[in-house]
């Protein structure tokens, strides 16, 4: 009988529920460690890497663009214009895209009053931007636009006109082709 009791006790010990205490503490420790590492990363990024992250954010969302503005009108004391800016077009091309066949060059040369050989040299360069002719009149601009040549574009610019050029030229001055003042009031302002 004593043997039977021993067997029952042994069987009872075998059927006893296993303790999950060790597993529970292991899982809690792993979760706590993960939580602490997340908090540390958050503090690290918000406190120690602030300047770097702000710079990266500004680099992605802020752009510095150069916006060209036309020069203002210069008038005399009676309101008469001495210098006026007028919008004009310039013909620009991407030689890598424009087909430089005889028909295209012939049409462009006749509209822009350019030498076909010079135009062919410009369109065969390896650059990606070339001025073909700057500050053309509106009729020429319409004809060039009607050609619809791929890689050819009309760029808006301003041209300076001086209604009383001879009389006031020594005071008003003049601008270069890029509309930057070179002499007189044009240089000062």
Give phi and psi for 159, each to the nearest 5: -120, 140
The strand pair at 181-183 and 81-93 is best described as unpaired
Q: Is 69 among the domain residues?
A: no
* Residue 89 and residue 27 share a domain: no
Stretch (H or E) spanning 181 = strand 181-183
DSSP state of 48: I
Among 35-39, 132-136, 156-160, 185-189, where is mean pLDDT lowest?
A: 185-189
Residues 103 and 159 in one domain: yes
Give the tens place of pLDDT for each residue, 1-31: 556 666 665 665 666 676 788 889 999 999 9
Co-location of 130 and 44 in the same domain: no
Q: Does one domain contain both 125 and 79?
A: yes
pTM score above 0.85: no
Residues 173 and 86 in one domain: yes
Q: Could you give the CA distance from residue 86 to residue 70 in angstroms, rounded to a whole number?
A: 8
Per-residue confidence (pLDDT) for residue 2, from 0 to 100? 58
Contacts of 113 (CB under 8 A, 6+ apart): none
- In terms of residue numbers, what domain contains 42? 2-61
Cα dihedral value 61, 62, 64, 67, nearest 10: 80
């Amino acid at each position: 009988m004593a043997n039977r009791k021993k067997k029952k006790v042994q069987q009872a010990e075998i059927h006893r529920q296993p303790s999950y205490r060790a597993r529970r503490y292991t899982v809690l420790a792993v979760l706590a460690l993960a939580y602490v590492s997340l908090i540390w990363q958050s503090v690290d990024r918000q406190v120690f890497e602030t300047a770097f992250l702000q710079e990266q954010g500004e680099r992605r969302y802020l752009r510095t663009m150069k916006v060209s503005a036309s020069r203002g009108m210069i008038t005399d004391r009676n309101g008469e214009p001495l210098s006026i800016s007028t919008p004009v077009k310039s013909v620009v091309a991407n030689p890598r895209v424009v087909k430089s066949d005889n028909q295209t060059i012939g049409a462009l040369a006749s509209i822009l009053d350019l030498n076909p050989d010079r135009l062919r040299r410009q369109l065969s360069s390896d650059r990606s931007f070339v001025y073909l002719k700057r500050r053309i009149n509106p009729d020429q601009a319409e004809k060039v636009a009607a050609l619809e040549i791929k890689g050819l574009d009309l760029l808006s610019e301003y041209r300076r006109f001086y209604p009383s050029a001879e009389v006031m030229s020594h005071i008003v001055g003049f601008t270069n082709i890029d509309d930057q003042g070179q002499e007189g009031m044009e240089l000062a302002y």
